[in-house]
Amino acid sequence: MVTLAEVARRAGVSPSTVSYVLSRKRSISDETRQKVEAAIEALGYHPHAGARALASNRSNILALMVPLRSDMYVPVIMEIAMAVTTEAREFGQDVLLLTKDEGTQGVRRVAGSGLADALILMDIELDDDRIPVLRETDTPAVLIGLPADPAGLACVDLDFEATGAACAAHLAQLGHRDVALIGEGEGVYKRHTGFAARTLAGFQRGVAEHGLRAVHRACEGTYESTAGVLSRILEERPGTTGFVVQNESAIAPLLSLLRLSGRAVPEDTSVVAICPDPVALQASPRLTSVSIPAEQMGRSAVRLVMAQLDGERDPGPATLIPPTLTVRESSAAGPAARSDGVVRTAGAAT
Partner DNA sequence: CAAGTTAATCGAAGCGCTTCGACTATCATT
Partner DNA sequence: AATGATAGTCGAAGCGCTTCGATTAACTTG
Chain positions contacting DNA, by CB under 7 A: 1, 3-5, 12-17, 19-20, 22-23, 25-29, 31-33, 45, 47-48, 51-52, 54-56
Pick 54 or 343: Cβ nearer its own copies: 54
Nearest approach, Cβ of residue 32 and DNA (Å): 3
**Residue 124's binding partner, choosing from its own copies, DNA, none, with beta-carbon cut-off 5 to 8 A by kind?**
none
Pick 61 or 212: Cβ nearer its own copies: 61
Interface with its own copies by CB under 8 A: which range of 110-118, 187-195, 233-241, 338-346? 110-118
In a 10 Å sphere around its CB, with 0-12 CB exposed, 13-18 middle and 19+ buried, how is residue 25 labelled? exposed
Cα dihedral value 347, 249, 282, 320, nearest 10: 70
CA distances, 215 to each of 181, 183, 233 (Å): 6, 11, 7
Cα dihedral value 292, 308, 149, 79, nearest 10: 20
Strands (E), 255-316: 270-274, 288-290
Pick 9 or 52: Cβ nearer its own copies: 52
Q: Taken in order 184, 190, 193, 198, is the CA torsion positive or negative?
A: positive
User: How many Cβ atoms sit within 10 Å of the Cβ of residue 126?
Assistant: 16
Q: What are the counts of helices (DSSP H) followed by strands (DSSP E) for the chain?
A: 16, 12
AA identity, residue 75: P
**Residue 203's binding partner, choosing from its own copies, DNA, none, with beta-carbon cut-off 5 to 8 A by kind?**
none
What is the per-residue binding string for its own copies in 156-195, x denoting contact by CB under 8 A? ----------------------------------------
Report 57-96 residues binding its own copies (CB under 8 A).
Answer: 59, 61, 64, 66, 68, 74-75, 77-78, 81-82, 85-86, 89, 94-96
Q: H/E/C letters for each residue in 258-271?
A: HHHCCCCCCCCCEE
**Residue 31's binding partner, choosing from DNA, its own copies, none, with beta-carbon cut-off 5 to 8 A by kind?**
DNA
Under the binding rule (CB under 8 A), the answer on residue 97 touching its own copies is yes
Rg (CA), the chain: 26
Under the binding rule (CB under 8 A), the answer on residue 212 touching its own copies is no
**Dist. CA 203–CA 210, nearest whole Å:** 11
Pick 17 or 59: Cβ nearer its own copies: 59
Interface with its own copies by CB under 8 A: which range of 100-108, 237-245, 299-307, 308-316? 100-108
Is residue 320 a contact partner of residue 157, using CB atoms and an 8 Å limit?
A: yes
**Dist. CA 242–CA 269, nearest whole Å:** 6
Under the binding rule (CB under 8 A), the answer on residue 223 touching its own copies is yes
DSSP secondary structure string for all residues of 13-71: S-HHHHHHHHH--S---HHHHHHHHHHHHHHT----HHHHHHHHS---EEEEEE-SS-S
Is residue 122 a contact partner of residue 99, using CB atoms and an 8 Å limit?
A: no
Nearest approach, Cβ of residue 28 and DNA (Å): 4
By three-state DSSP, how is residue 157 classified? strand
Nearest approach, Cβ of residue 12 and DNA (Å): 7
Under the binding rule (CB under 8 A), the answer on residue 23 touching its own copies is no
**Residue 238's binding partner, choosing from its own copies, DNA, none, with beta-carbon cut-off 5 to 8 A by kind?**
none
Nearest approach, Cβ of residue 199 and DNA (Å): 45
Pick 25 or 46: Cβ nearer its own copies: 46
What is the per-residue binding string for its own copies in 118-157, x denoting contact by CB under 8 A? ----------------------------------------
The size of the interface with its own copies (CB under 8 A), counted in residues, is 43
Residues of this chain that interact with its own copies (CB under 8 A) are 1-2, 44-54, 59, 61, 64, 66, 68, 74-75, 77-78, 81-82, 85-86, 89, 94-99, 101-102, 108-109, 112-115, 223, 284
